[in-house]
Amino acid sequence: MSVTAPKKLSLKERYRILTRGLDWTPTYQEPAKIFPHAEFEGIKIRDWDGFVDPFRLTMDSYWKYQAEKERKLYAVLDSFQQNNGQTAITDGRYVNVLKIFLTAITPGEYQAHRGFAMLGRQVPNVGLRIAAQMQSLDELRHAQTQIHSCSHYNKYFDGLHSFSYQHDRVWYLSVVKSFFDDARTSGPFEFLIAIGFSFEYVLTNLLFVPFMSGAAYNGDLSTVTFGFSAQSDESRHMTLGLEAIKFILEQHEDNAAIVQKWIDKWFWRGYRILAILAMMMDYMLPKRIMPWKDAWDIYFNEAGGALFGDLARYGIKMPNTAEVANKEAFRLSTETMLTFYQMGHASGFHSWLPSEDELKWLAEAYGPEWERLYLPRFKYFRELEAKGEHYYNPSLPQLCQVCQIPMFFTEPDDPTKICFRDTVYNGDRYHFCSDGCQHIFEGEPEKYVQAWLPVHQVMQGNCGGATIDEIRKYWRVEDGEDNYDYVGSPDETMWKSWQADRLKVGS
């Protein structure tokens, strides 16, 4: 054998040789011991080689692409800090969006990073493992770049200072934490459907649009740059999610029933998290992008409709709760906002009532029923504020056993009536916000009875004490700084002093 002139290799061939060739069939250890998670979920794979690698990326190209993106991103972050870009946002209120982002979403990116590492180790197919490993790296990138993007804001604004600590403890953050804990404690296929497909493919645009377009509309150069930089990662992740679900469905007809159950579950779980995004879009962005309902129509009903049309040939149907989500679309943001407004004393970010102009915008977006139902409430809260009696709800809310959101959602067909569901399991009664959450519970009661429900934990004395002061200390929510209304907050005082300086300089 000696070396002669090289033959031409197609990229596809080259990728196949450099990756698929890496594996071998182990003989000194049982494959089932090396890949112990591969079979317990009941998914049947006839031929692992049937998985087609969606993006044929070798590691050297990965390093090159990603390094180039990071060079650009960090150049922007550096200049943002030097030029105090935080002063260029539309309004100090905007930063509350970042507070939610950093405390709720960034730790979720981290969980995705660890979850894809698990997948990248456990799936018995090289191509899928490599794709999962690269996504694991990407998700670590997202967590770290978000922390770095928000770092400069943290030097000036409250509520960003203890994001990872709070994610483990604060009541509304357990909604997101339990979502990712749920996915990560599942097997590899369910994780793939939960995060790779349902979250990344079906719902990711609904996450991306509010945050990134919101940042763009509101002068937040730091977050915009991160967002656009992450977009090319996201398109890889979406492709992986779609290829993976098709692969699983094509492997065996028995898989469809299991996958459908997961789609139903993870659609509803993901959708429940989006309630806080709906609130952000309709109430928190000083300059609005579009009403939540429009985003839902475009990104779920249109895009998702086409997707599920595509999957129909495998016997996969639209999630069974999509109709309920549609019925909630006009009120989701408002029901959520009104709850957080009343829980301002127990939150790590500020809330505030919408202005007259904003109410007009909402009424136009959501129509007469919305006006009839909610305008009186805003009027009532405004009158209380005028008297110096901002309403804060002193009681602890009951939480849904599955999504962990307080029981404030209303009946699908009656927005004046809170939706309560319950079920008895092993002699105990469990409560749910919706049929969707109840069905999820009934599918795996032994899992959901374990939930670390913040309100239960407070009542059991596991959160620093029984008084709100003690509990806030446990949460590291600084009283009088991080919480209550934006009006009168240190954030507002600082923002106003910047504005005053701006006027002086401008005159």
Partner 1 sequence: MHIDIKAASLQQKRQAYKHLAKRFGEDRPASRYEEGTLDLAPEANFHYRPLWDADHELYDKTRSKITMKDWYALRDPRQFYYANYNITRAGQIESVEHNFDMVEKRGMLTAIPAEWVERITFYLLPLRHYEWGANMNNCQITALGHGTALTAPTCFAMGDRLGIAQLIGRIGLALASNNETALNAAKDAWVNHPDWQGVRKMVEDSLVLEDPMELFLAQNLALDGIVYPLVYGAFSRESDRRGGAAISFLCSFMNEWYEETGKWVDAVIKVAAAENDENKALLKSWFAIWEARAVAAFKPLSVAVLGAEAGAQAIADVEATLKARAAKLGIA
Handedness of CA 124, 127, 130, 135 (dihedral sign): negative
Any bridge partners for residue 45, and if so which? none
Round to whole Å and give the CA distance between 464 and 262.
37
The one among 56, 113, 142, 177 contacting Fe ion by CB under 5 A: 142
The one among 56, 93, 113, 237 contacting partner 1 by CB under 8 A: 113
Any bridge partners for residue 485, and if so which? 351
The one among 40, 235, 360, 382 contacting partner 1 by CB under 8 A: 40
Q: Is 36 helix (H, G, I), strand (E, B) or coil?
A: coil
Q: Evaluate whether 170 touches 454 at the Cβ level (below 8 Å).
A: yes
- Asked if 11 touches partner 1 (CB under 8 A), the answer is no
Round to whole Å and give the CA distance between 191 and 38.
12
Q: Evaluate whether 342 touches 391 at the Cβ level (below 8 Å).
A: yes
Lay out the site mask for partner 1 across 184-213 (x = CB under 8 A, - = otherwise): xxxx--------------------------
- Asked if 140 touches partner 1 (CB under 8 A), the answer is yes
The one among 45, 407, 437, 451 contacting Fe ion by CB under 5 A: 437
The one among 232, 323, 450, 488 contacting partner 1 by CB under 8 A: 450
The one among 14, 372, 377, 382 contacting partner 1 by CB under 8 A: 14
- Asked if 26 touches partner 1 (CB under 8 A), the answer is yes
The one among 48, 55, 74, 361 contacting partner 1 by CB under 8 A: 74
Window contacting partner 1 (CB under 8 A); options: 92-100, 157-165, 312-320, 331-339: 157-165
Q: Evaluate whether 448 touches 401 at the Cβ level (below 8 Å).
A: yes
Q: Which is nearer to partner 1, 31 or 305 (CB)?
A: 31
Q: Which is nearer to Fe ion, 356 or 428 (CB)?
A: 428
- Asked if 160 touches partner 1 (CB under 8 A), the answer is yes
- Asked if 403 touches Fe ion (CB under 5 A), the answer is yes
Tokens of residue 122, six digits: 């456990």
Q: Which does 187 bind (CB under 5 to 8 A by kind): Fe ion, partner 1, none?
A: partner 1
Window contacting Fe ion (CB under 5 A); options: 93-101, 137-145, 207-215, 439-447: 137-145
Smallest separation (angstroms) from partner 1 to the CB of 449: 9
Tokens of residue 484, six digits: 């209550």
Round to whole Å and give the CA distance between 496 and 91.
9
Any bridge partners for residue 421, and if so which? 432
Reference 271, options 158, 213, 162, 194; nearest CA is: 194
Q: Which does 365 bind (CB under 5 to 8 A by kind): Fe ion, partner 1, none?
A: none
Q: Which does 433 bind (CB under 5 to 8 A by kind): partner 1, Fe ion, none?
A: Fe ion
Q: Evaluate whether 73 touches 221 at the Cβ level (below 8 Å).
A: no
The one among 42, 44, 59, 479 contacting partner 1 by CB under 8 A: 59
Tokens of residue 224, six digits: 């915009």
Query: How many other CB atoms are there within 10 angstroms of residue 140's CB atom?
Result: 17
- Asked if 75 touches partner 1 (CB under 8 A), the answer is no
- Asked if 135 touches partner 1 (CB under 8 A), the answer is no
Tokens of residue 227, six digits: 């967002």
Question: What phi and psi values does residue 463 have, to the nearest 5 degrees?
Answer: -125, 45
Alpha helices in 36-123 (DSSP H): 59-82, 95-100, 106-122
Long-range own/partner contacts, residues 461-468 (CB < 8 A, 24 or more apart): 463/169, 468/345, 468/346, 468/394
Q: Which is nearer to partner 1, 3 or 386 (CB)?
A: 3
Q: Evaluate whether 107 touches 162 at the Cβ level (below 8 Å).
A: no
Round to whole Å and give the CA distance between 10 and 296.
42
Window contacting Fe ion (CB under 5 A); options: 41-49, 141-149, 154-162, 353-361: 141-149
The one among 96, 136, 336, 489 contacting partner 1 by CB under 8 A: 136
The one among 33, 313, 387, 429 contacting partner 1 by CB under 8 A: 33
Restricting to residues 244-263, which ones interact with partner 1 according to CB under 8 A? none
Smallest separation (angstroms) from partner 1 to the CB of 479: 15
The one among 96, 99, 159, 182 contacting partner 1 by CB under 8 A: 182
Window contacting Fe ion (CB under 5 A); options: 68-76, 126-134, 138-146, 157-165: 138-146
Find how far residue 33's CA is from the centre of its chain: 34
Round to whole Å and give the CA distance between 18 and 125.
14
- Asked if 158 touches partner 1 (CB under 8 A), the answer is yes
Total number of residues that touch partner 1 (CB under 8 A): 108
- Asked if 433 touches Fe ion (CB under 5 A), the answer is yes
- Asked if 476 touches partner 1 (CB under 8 A), the answer is yes
Round to whole Å and give the CA distance between 308 and 461.
46
Q: Which is nearer to Fe ion, 235 or 497 (CB)?
A: 235
Footprint of Fe ion (CB under 5 A): 109, 139, 142, 400, 402-403, 433, 437
